Amino acid sequence: MTALGTATRAGTVPRARTSTEPAPGRPGGPPGVRPGPRPDDRPAGRRLGLGRPVPAAGLVGVAVLVGVWVAGSASGLIDQRVLSAPWTVVTTAGDLIAQGDLQENLGVSLTRAALGLAWGVAAGVVLALASGLSRVGDALLDGPIQVKRAIPNLALLPLLILWFGIGEPMKVITIALGVFIPIYLHTHNGLRSIDSRYVELAETVRLSRPQFVRRVVLPGALPGFLLGLRFAVTGSLLSLVVVEQVNATAGIGYMMELARTYGQTEVIIVGLVVYGVLGFSADAAVRLLQRRALAWRRTLED
């Protein structure tokens, strides 16, 4: 017996739903108009999140540090023989730019860092995929990489000089060795942290191995890879500082080493500021990429 017949026997006939009434299970509202935002049902009071974002939050701490430096130099609390005043550093940087020395050395340093970063990222991703997607690969690769992780690049420098000399290949390889470790660790962890239910779903819909890697593995490992990239960018600059002070003839580190020989503190500070600006800018760029690529995630930072 149908529901209509039952309703007729009971003396009630179901009323047809008009076009302006909401369908069962759907929010109300006139047709063709999307429903508004859901009301905030959270209890009133102090929120447990981070609060509203601070405008230019990344620059606040830097501005405070520079302000302390300026105030200390102007009041005489900071001896200029120990730490040059900010205006002296700015004047020195202007002179180096006018002479063309700063641009030339900066170009050499950026080239070394970019090459080392590119090779290190490529090696880290390939090794992470080989180890993270295979038990055999994990058994063969993870142990030696963990051993390399425990050995700092500075300890390997004498051996690298014996193998590759003191030219550019040694410098790029040293930077790449400092880069691939964080890329490998975080990408490998991202791969192993993928929910097994996604793997079972991929098997259910009969995805091929390449499709599984493209649709499940790579998106799942992306957060870990981007986090590793932030560490890798900083690692490339740390390694760059080391290699540019080993019989180099150009670069920011070479400029600083030459200034140390002649006791030019202001030139050394200029080099440190350049390294700091490079690291801060590179990290900000990676964080921006991270927010764009992972816009689908809802985290405490949001």
Domains of the chain: 84-292 (1.10.3720.10)
Tell me which residue of 107, 102, 116, 62 sits closest to 86, measured CA to CA. 62
The gap from C-alpha 183 to its chain's centroid, in whole angstroms, comes to 10
223 contacts 297 by C-beta, under 8 angstroms? yes
Give the model's pLDDT for residue 200.
Answer: 85
- Can you tell me the distance from the alpha carbon of 101 to that of 165, in angstroms, rounded to the nearest whole number? 26
Helix 101-132 to helix 252-261 angle (10° resolution) is 130
Least confident of 28-37, 76-85, 267-276: 28-37
- Can you tell me the distance from the alpha carbon of 57 to that of 55, in angstroms, rounded to the nearest whole number? 5
pTM over 0.85: no
Give the model's pLDDT for residue 57.
Answer: 66
| Helix, coil or strand: residue 14 | coil
- Can you tell me the distance from the alpha carbon of 275 to that of 296, in angstroms, rounded to the nearest whole number? 33
| Position with higher pLDDT, 222 vs 23 | 222
Least confident of 224-228, 250-254, 284-288, 293-297: 293-297
- In 3-state terms, the chain is what percent helix, strand and coil (to 5)? 70, 0, 30
Confidence of residue 16 (pLDDT cuts 50, 70, 90): very low
What average pLDDT score do residues 172-185 get? 91
DSSP 146-204: HHHHHS-HHHHHHHHHHHHTTSHHHHHHHHHHHHHHHHHHHHHHHHHTS-HHHHHHHHH
User: Residues with Cβ < 8 Å from 286, sequence gap 6 or more?
Assistant: 226, 229, 230, 233
User: Residues with Cβ < 8 Å from 195, sequence gap 6 or more?
Assistant: 220
Give the model's pLDDT for residue 185.
Answer: 92
Confidence of residue 30 (pLDDT cuts 50, 70, 90): very low
Confidence of residue 26 (pLDDT cuts 50, 70, 90): very low
- Can you tell me the distance from the alpha carbon of 222 to that of 213, in angstroms, rounded to the nearest whole number? 12
Confidence of residue 301 (pLDDT cuts 50, 70, 90): low
What average pLDDT score do residues 110-123 get? 93
Give yes or no for residue 1 having a pLDDT over 50: no
Return the number of other C-beta atoms located less than 10 Å from residue 52's C-beta: 7
78 contacts 69 by C-beta, under 8 angstroms? yes
- Can you tell me the distance from the alpha carbon of 3 to that of 13, in angstroms, rounded to the nearest whole number? 10
The dihedral through the CA atoms of 160, 166, 172, 178 has a sign that is: positive
